């Protein structure tokens, strides 16, 4: 993938992700940084969406160097991010307290910014994998 496009995607992913930290996410929560700080607790009950945050960081680090010829790491990132995005898009309830009370989801701007960052990450990983899996042009 050309460096200019790659850096633009990285900037857009980072910009949307940082914006999602300061915007309200759900009606039950507050700004996104609270969900980022407490979201790891959900892994024990099968809530895997929080894992997209460190994966986005890994993806950004993998996309930055120009010498990396992609591998199946990019495809694995794209598949997992797609899974998380689909799961979040289909979510109808959210746990609002420690007692496990579920309420209908009401998404705000932070949620859509986070989903946009995950979507761009998924697209960037898939495109980088596609570029990397092409054979190198023959010289001569």
Give the residue extent of every domain in the chain.
3-133
Residue 2 exposed, middle or buried by CB count within 10 Å (0-12, 13-18, 19+): exposed
For residues 80 and 78, give the distance between their C-alpha atoms in angstroms, rounded to a whole number: 6
Query: How do the pLDDT tens digits run along the chain, 140 residues long?
Result: 777 888 898 899 999 999 999 988 877 667 888 888 887 877 777 777 888 888 888 888 888 876 565 567 777 878 888 888 888 888 888 777 777 778 787 888 888 898 899 888 888 888 887 776 666 566 65
86-99 burial: b if 16+ Cβ within 10 Å, else e: eebeeeeebeeeee
Number of other CB atoms surrounding residue 22 within 10 Å: 12
């Amino acid at each position: 993938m050309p460096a200019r496009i790659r850096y633009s995607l990285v900037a857009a992913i980072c910009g949307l992700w940082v914006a999602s930290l300061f915007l309200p996410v759900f009606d039950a929560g507050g700004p996104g940084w609270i969900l980022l700080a407490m979201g790891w607790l959900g892994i024990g009950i099968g809530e895997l969406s929080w894992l997209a945050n460190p994966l986005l960081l890994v993806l950004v680090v993998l996309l930055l160097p120009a010498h990396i010829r992609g591998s199946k790491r990019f495809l694995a990132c794209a598949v997992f991010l797609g899974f998380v995005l689909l799961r979040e898009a289909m979510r109808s309830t959210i746990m609002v307290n420690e007692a496990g009370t579920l309420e209908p989801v009401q998404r705000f701007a932070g949620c859509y910014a986070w989903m946009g960052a995950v979507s761009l990450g998924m697209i960037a990983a898939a495109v980088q994998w596609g570029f990397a899996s092409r054979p190198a042009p023959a010289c001569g």
